[in-house]
Amino acid sequence: MGIYEELQARGLIAQVTNEPEIREMINNGKATFYIGFDPTADSLHVGHFMALCLMKRLQMAGNKPVVLIGGGTAMIGDPSGRTDMRSMMTKETIQHNCDCFKKQMERFIEFGDGKAIMVNNADWLLGLNYVDVLREVGACFSVNNMLRAECYKQRMEKGLSFLEFNYMIMQSYDFYYLFQNYGCNMQFGGNDQWSNMLGGTELIRRKLDKDAHAMTITLLLNYEGKKMGKTVSGAVWLDPNKTSPFEFFQYWRNVGDGDVLKCLRLLTFLPIEQIDVMDKWEGSQLNTAKEILAY
């Protein structure tokens, strides 16, 4: 089983731009791929953990990860999945959050020569001239298509600021920049990022006449379709000072019976065959599966 087939078996793959091409690339370790993380807090949370797991799986299969910290895009704010505008952060807060992310990521991903690299889009976005950007990439985006994008549609009734409207262009520019400067040929992200990711592949095609690829992973939802990784007191963080190890353990120990096997597939490195055996478990055996997940 190749890594692509394993991702399928685990239920991770949501949407792809060109399945045969992506399958061939990642199964043969030919992908230089990126995943973006906007530093909107001083810790990663469980949603990020799923992306880090994907990154780790792909790295173990011989592909090269580019971790993109969104020091530039965080100054605009991603409207995806939100009903209101994000509060504006200072440059100092964004930088502090970037530093926190880097420390946490180094526990999961191997960085160094020939391994993963970490870049910050503030390094190229903050120096751009607005008129130059309009001339260089503005003509490549159709406002009609942008307004049809899911990430914008849900905000149209409550109000979408022009600031946030630019987010898709900034994220697309990131992919264009990474393609040119780092040979980055693929982008991975959550399923709510699909429109933004397609914007990047289209920009590369129109500006460079070359193909780049995108794949989204399923969002971490429970059997009722609600986002997981939230508690009464807020997000489940990867920082032990924000979510204690005990609270973290208890969160996973208490997941619903209908969610435990899905979480084992998405969030652990247990062999898929071992998880398939657990499919037949019921009653008290499911509590054992929950403890395996929590550990």
Judge if 271 and 205 occupy the same domain.
no
Residues 214 and 250 in one domain: no
122 and 86 co-located in one domain: yes
Same domain, 169 and 261: no
Residues 124 and 267 in one domain: no
- Final residue in a domain of this structure, among 174, 191, 222: 222
Same domain, yes or no: 101 and 163: yes
The chain-wide mean pLDDT, for the chain, equals 89
Cα(144)–Cα(128) distance, integer angstroms: 25
Please write the tens of the pLDDT for every residue from 61-104: 999 999 999 888 887 765 555 444 556 778 888 888 888 998 89
pLDDT tens digits, one per residue of 241-279: 999 999 999 999 999 998 999 999 999 999 999 999 998
Q: pLDDT band for 19, please (50, 70, 90 cuts).
A: very high
Domain assignment present for residue 186? The answer is yes
Domain membership of residue 237 (yes or no) is no
Whether 294 maps to a domain, the answer reads: yes
- Give the CATH number of the domain where residue 30 resides: 3.40.50.620
Question: Is 249 within the bounds of a domain?
Answer: yes
74 and 12: one domain? yes
Over residues 167-182, the pLDDT tens digits come to 889 999 999 999 999 9
234 within domain boundaries: no
Residues 206 and 256 in one domain: no
Q: Tell me, yes or no, whether 239 lies in a domain.
A: no
What tokens were used for 241? 């000072």
Same domain, 17 and 73: yes
pLDDT at 83: 47
Q: Which residues contact 195 (CB under 8 A, 6 or more apart)?
A: 146, 149, 150, 151, 152, 168
Same-domain pairing of 192 and 264: no
Of 187, 222, 257, which residue sits at a domain end?
222
Last residue of a domain, one of 176, 192, 222: 222
Whether 217 and 248 share a structural domain: no
* Same domain as 205, residue 283: no
> For the chain, how many structural domains are there in total?
2
Chain segment 130-169, per-residue pLDDT in tens: 899 888 898 888 888 888 877 777 667 777 778 778 888 9
Domain range for residue 84? 3-222
